[in-house]
A = this chain, B = another copy of it.
Amino acid sequence: MRSIGIGVIGAGVMGAEHARIIAREVSGAHLAAVADADPARAEAAAHGGRAMTDPEALIADPSVEAVLIASPDATHQRLVLAAIAAGKPVLCEKPLAASTQECLEIVAAEARAGRPLVQTGFMRRFDPAYREMKAAIDGGALGGVRILHCQHRNLAAPAWFTGAMAVTNSLVHEIDVCRWLLSTEYSAVTVIPSPEGDPALFVFETEAGSIVSVEVFMNAAYGYHVHAEAVCAKGTVGMAHPAPIRARRDGAEEGAFPENWIPRFRDAYRIQDQAWVDGIGAGTPPADGSTAWDGLVATCLADQIVAAMETRRRTPLTLPEKPR
């Protein structure tokens, strides 16, 4: 029975969650090793696999056939390049790298390797609600998408949060998932921040002619809530409230929201990781996965949008030439 050995780098919240998914919920793979600078944290996340402190050693280890990177953002590019150099498939949490230039280096390295090795961890592409929306849109019965309305609401921004992070940490998910949903690229953005700066409204125009409107609210207070509604020529399709149950008490009927993204996207992470493993086994990455190029697009556009926040003018969005 073929089982792929996975090494997870980073044992923080997301790294531990990925390690748990690989160890307990994914078919065709096992958790070979976990690396974290904190050995106790690595141990706690290892589910009986090897605990290490050196990520380069993990990548080099023969028991590790593929690498999942969930370490601090600043380390992503270096570790992705190391995995490519080792010829090992790698799934990297967003952001793929800190700049367009760094992302281009990854794209180039992967091209030299001669086969797709990199997947960027934009897990929403595997969320059942987004997937059913995409199926409804692609099915064609609703006609073309005219406006895609999105809300991205977090309970409360951490203390260290800066305005730009609303783009680079939060909006970046909509940047990826909406161009995937609509099968198009963005051509321009207009940013309308509220006077407090948070929330802000980002309005994109796309090459396909759709408008994408995204509210990002880092301090929405009532819970973590991601919503999308596609307004099409013949109808709309949008997300239902995500909770499977409703309670009635104290004068109201209630549907609960989670406190953060992990419960909301638990299935998406599992399905993403399974699809990644399946792709390794099959020698072909998952059709809908976010590639190195997709990771580049997200980073590249986020930078331009941060700049557009200052000017409040409609700002054309551009991408580098895509290597062949």
Contact = CB atoms under 8 A, between A and B. Distances in A.
Interface of A: 1, 3, 5, 23-30, 128-129, 132-133, 136, 141-143, 146-147, 149, 151, 190, 192, 194-196, 198-199, 201, 203, 205, 209-211, 213, 215, 217, 219-223, 225, 231, 233-257, 259, 267, 274, 278, 312-314
Contact of A203 (B29, B201, B257): B201
A252 B249 contact: no
A136 B243 CA distance: 13
Contacts of A223: 248, 251-252
B249 A244 contact: no
A149 B229 CA distance: 13
Contacts of A222: 234-236, 248-252
Contacts of A219: 233
Contact of A3 (B1, B133, B247, B278): B1
A213 B129 CA distance: 25
20 contacts: A23-B27, A132-B244, A146-B194, A151-B231, A190-B190, A192-B211, A199-B231, A201-B203, A220-B236, A221-B233, A222-B248, A223-B248, A223-B251, A234-B249, A237-B248, A239-B244, A240-B240, A240-B244, A240-B255, A251-B256
A268 to B, nearest CB: 11
A129 B242 CA distance: 11
B192 A128 contact: no
